[in-house]
Homo-oligomer: A and B are copies of this chain.
């Protein structure tokens, strides 16, 4: 099996011991490959496992009684997902592949083992969960208090920031596998208005498009204008207990 996406993620914050790496490897079970649109876990279904993303994108989404959909988060390599199954046995959101992707199962019981034997990893996972909570807050602020153009720009900057991590360099363009309908469901807009907003950003020289390739002309400028903060760069680890 190839290298774990989760281990790679954790090592960006902390130099893991051999034991810590082994504990995670042991917990990760069978690998699952998904095609775009395939569902990994359905809202309301029962689940006794989390998933680690190794490659590709997914999203988690909630359905409304009225028939709409809200995309809650996008998940990239290194993310530990399906975390709602930690607190309940029923999934609170649907996990769907956006691109081709591979994930591995991580049974809840094995997570318990990690918490028992690797307190430093437990702390780091807790810190990452706290960071994700803050990222969620940013999204809430964006949807609650910003107009369509700014929401869209922020989403594109967020995707760019996440991809820059794995790309290992400062890129300014990427392939966007999302439909405009998906984008609307992520931003709380209709697909029609997403389309108009995208075209307005093009006209205003904020972005360029070529097929599904999107280029942000001056990412740093846009980050300043929207007040975008990358929540995934650094995580403080000084408070963590030492490795055993």
Query: Which residues on A are within 8 Å of B, measured CB to CB?
Result: 60, 62, 64-66, 68-70, 72, 83-84, 86-89, 92-93, 108-109, 111-113, 115-116, 119-120, 122-123, 125-134, 136-141, 143-146, 187-188, 227, 229, 231, 234-236, 239-242
A86-B126 in contact given A145-B64, A240-B112 (Cβ < 8 Å): yes
Chain B residues near A84 (CB-CB < 8 A): 130, 133-134
Q: Majority SS of interface residues in chain A?
A: helix
CA distance in complex: A224, B233 (Å)? 41
Contact of A87 among B69, B72, B128 (CB under 8 A): B128
Contact of A115 among B119, B131, B138, B139 (CB under 8 A): B119
Is A145 in contact with B83, judged by CB distance below 8 angstroms?
no
Is B115 in contact with A116, judged by CB distance below 8 angstroms?
no
Is B188 in contact with A143, judged by CB distance below 8 angstroms?
yes
Contact of A139 among B122, B132, B138, B140 (CB under 8 A): B140
